[in-house]
Structures are given as C-alpha cells and as structure tokens.
Amino acid sequence: GGPASLSRFRGALVAAVLGDCVGGEFEGAEEVPMDRVLQHLNGLEDESRGDGILQYSDDTAMTRCVVQSLLTRAGFDEQDMARRFAKEYSHSPGRGYGAGVIQVLRKLASPHLNDVFQPARAQFSGHGSFGNGGAMRAAPFALAFSNPVDIRRYSRLGAMLTHSCSLGYNGAVLQALAVHISLQGGLELPHRPTFINKLISEMEEVEAEDAARSDSRVFSESEFPFCDRLHRVKDLMERNNSVSIEEVISELGNGIAALHSVPTAIFCVLHCLEPREGLPERYGGLERTMAYSLALGGDTDTIACMAGAIAGAHYGIDAIPQIWQRCCEGAEDADINAERLHTLYHQAPAEG
C-alpha cells in the first residue's frame, strides 16, 4: 500500500505483538543458533497448536495501554495513560515487567498522585531508568500522529511516565520516528538509502537538548549516544553480507537498555530487507526480520517487537503469515486497533 495505508498500520501493530510473543522464548538467552530459531518458528505451523498459545509480555501489555489511551482521548493525555499502565499492571502483574518499573507502576496506582511523572523521576537514585520499556511501547505514537514534531513530543512524554532518563525516553523517540518514516514509505527502494540519515538528523536535534547532554556525560557515553549508534548501524550496513551476529551484538548490543536495543532493532530491519544467507529462501522480509532479531539473543522479545513494528509498517499486513498471527495472544486485537488508529490518524486536525 501507499504511504500511511491501512495495511501498513495493521502490519506495524500486529508484527509488534508477534515479535513480543515469538521472542519471549529466547529472552535472556546469551546466543541463539539460527537452527533453534527456525525450529521455534516452524513449530508455529504445527496444526495442533491452539489459538493464541504464545502469550504476550509487558511489551504488548503496555503498548495496548498506549493504544487505548490515544484512541479514547483522541490524543495524548498523561493522566489517562498513567492510569491505564497502573491498572494493567495490577490486573496482570506477571507479564515479565522490568525489575525497576514495577515500583513506578505501583505508585501510579495511588489516587493521591498529583504529578504522574514524579514516580519515574525517583527511579535509580533520581536519574530515572534507561531501560527500553519506553521504547518497546512507542510505535502507537507514530500511528496516532502524522506530524514528526507531535511524534517526538508525545513519544517522549509517554515514555517519561516510567523512564525519565534521556537514554530511556530518547530511545522511545527514535523508535517512534523509525516507525513513522517506515509508515511513510521510507524503506521503499527509492528512499531506502536516506532512511538512516533521516533518523540521524532528527536525533541530532533531539540529543542536542541539555538533559540529553548531561545524561550522556553522567553515563560516560559519547556526546550524541543514539546518533553514534545510528552511525554504527550505517557502517555495518555498508559492509553488507560480511557482518556476523557477534559483531552486531558487540557494536550495537542486545540488552535491556534502550541504547543497546533500539538501534539494534533498526539494524535488524535494514539488514533483512534483502535475502540473507542462513535464512530460508521461502521467507519474506518480515519473516527474516523476526528470525534475525531472535537469533541475536538477549532482549529478544523487545528487539523483535520494535523491529516488528518498523518492518510491519513497511511490508504491511499481508506479509505476516496468518498462521503466526493465530498463534499470538493479542494479534487480533492489535489488528482491530490498527484500523481505529488509521481512522484517527487521517482525521487528526492539522494543528495536531
């Protein structure tokens, strides 16, 4: 479909759920041989598998809250979104939430809380979390707002409800922008070479802010940490077929920090636009992206979820095997919500 088509919305939201559900199997594994990944994915085609057998984790649970809030409020409302996070957590606390964010979610449940951003600010001795929990749920911001300025502003605030360190919330901004550009057709052949440069120039502005500059100093990162990683993505891309999984992990990371997972997810998508050795020839790009994300090991559910959203916005819903969709809890809901977001997106007033 063309830019911002319904198929792209459905692809983005459904593939994010898929990444979370199929990636859960390997979360925390140090390395995953491709054989095991393919075995896991082939297993989904087994007829005896029941509907929705693979459960989603916190990544999808929180994404659903973001979606519901954006739809219900027809825009960003921090009070409403915070309330939904807290309610979801108290209803299903066993979805594999990060160890730190649980404290925030408990505090957000308090009816006496005035400033919903305060609990997140208190995390990790006051500098806030740099985990990827803000980024893992950022895709819907690109599906609710069409203007990059709005996407930047609201994906940042949405992440700050739990992640107030710039190394956390700027990962969410990057993820939302990647989904946005993909949704606009930015990964189609004629635009493909400039995809990463667009992200770098957006992030140069984002990371020029004082908070980002001071956090990168506190954590002894380079001056523009996300831009730095995006340049590494570009370097790895230029080396094309000669990049090993080990190098991707050592250059970009596969961990729970947003800085070590969002650029990695972006790399997975770009790398899998072409057929790759070691991946089945019958696989299309979306299937390749999923398999490759899982083979990196580490935070597989989250990296596959983020890569899934970006890839799904490019390939559209028809690229996702129906048999995979049937195996994943929440895939059907995601499909329905994608249509609602598509309507909201195209109705949104010009001033945002």
* Contacting residues toward Mg ion, per CB under 5 A: 57-59, 96, 299, 301-302
132 binds, among ligand R7I, Mg ion, none (CB under 5 to 8 A by kind): ligand R7I
Q: How far is the CB of 164 from ligand R7I (least distance, A)?
A: 10
Q: In this complex, which beta carbon is closest to ligand R7I, that of residue 8 or of residue 156? A: 156
Contacts 24+ apart (CB under 8 A), 224-229: 225/167, 225/259, 226/170, 226/171, 226/174, 226/259, 226/262, 226/263, 227/200, 227/203, 229/259, 229/263
CB nearer to ligand R7I: give 255 or 285. Answer: 255
Other CB atoms closer than 10 Å to residue 186's CB: what's the count?
22
User: Between 227 and 327, whose beta carbon lies closer to Mg ion?
Assistant: 327
Q: How far is the CB of 266 from ligand R7I (least distance, A)?
A: 17
Residue 187 or 310: the one with the smaller Cβ distance to Mg ion is 310
Q: To the nearest whole angstrom, how small is the minimum distance from the Cβ of residue 156 to ligand R7I?
A: 15
Residue 100 interacting entry, from ligand R7I, Mg ion, none, C-beta within 5 to 8 Å by type: ligand R7I
- Give the separation between CA 293 and CA 273, rounded to whole angstroms: 13
Letter string b/e over residues 47-60, b meaning 16 or more CB atoms within 10 A of that residue's CB? eeeeebebbbbbbb
Q: Which is nearer to Mg ion, 99 or 350 (CB)?
A: 99
Instruction: Answer with the entry of ligand R7I, Mg ion, none that 170 interacts with (C-beta below 5 to 8 A by kind).
Output: none
Sign of the C-alpha dihedral computed for residues 130, 308, 272 and 40 taken in this order: positive
Nearer to Mg ion, 26 or 315 (CB): 26
Provide, rounded to whole angstroms, the least separation between the CB of residue 350 and ligand R7I: 34
Picked from Mg ion, ligand R7I, none, the partner binding residue 131 (CB below 5 to 8 A depending on kind) is ligand R7I
Retrieve residue 206's tokens.
């984002």
Q: Which one of Mg ion, ligand R7I, none is in contact with 164 (Cβ closer than 5 to 8 A by kind)?
A: none
306 to 47, 118, 197: CA distances (angstroms): 28, 27, 19
**Is there a contact between 155 and 172 (Cβ–Cβ < 8 Å)?**
yes
Tell me the closest approach of the beta carbon of residue 249 to Mg ion, in angstroms: 16
Query: Which residue's CB is nearer to Mg ion, number 62 or number 269?
Result: 62
- Which residues lie near ligand R7I (CB under 6 A)? 57-59, 96, 98-101, 124, 127, 129-133, 136, 165, 256, 299, 301-302
98 secondary structure, DSSP code: -
The interface partner of residue 129, options being Mg ion, ligand R7I, none and the CB cut-off 5 to 8 Å by kind, is ligand R7I
CB of 32 to ligand R7I, least distance (A): 15
Determine the length of the chain.
Answer: 352
- Return the amino acid letter for 301: D
Q: Which two tokens stand for residue 211?
A: 């908070």
> Do the Cβ atoms of 95 and 58 come closer than 8 Å?
yes
Closest to 19 (Cα-Cα) out of 53, 51, 56, 58: 56
In the bound complex, what is the minimum distance in angstroms from residue 334's beta carbon to Mg ion? Answer: 15
Measured from the CB of residue 175, what is the shortest distance to Mg ion in angstroms? 13
| Nearer of residues 97 and 283 to ligand R7I, judged by Cβ | 97
**Residue 15 in contact with residue 309, Cβ under 8 Å?**
yes
Which one of ligand R7I, Mg ion, none is in contact with 98 (Cβ closer than 5 to 8 A by kind)? ligand R7I
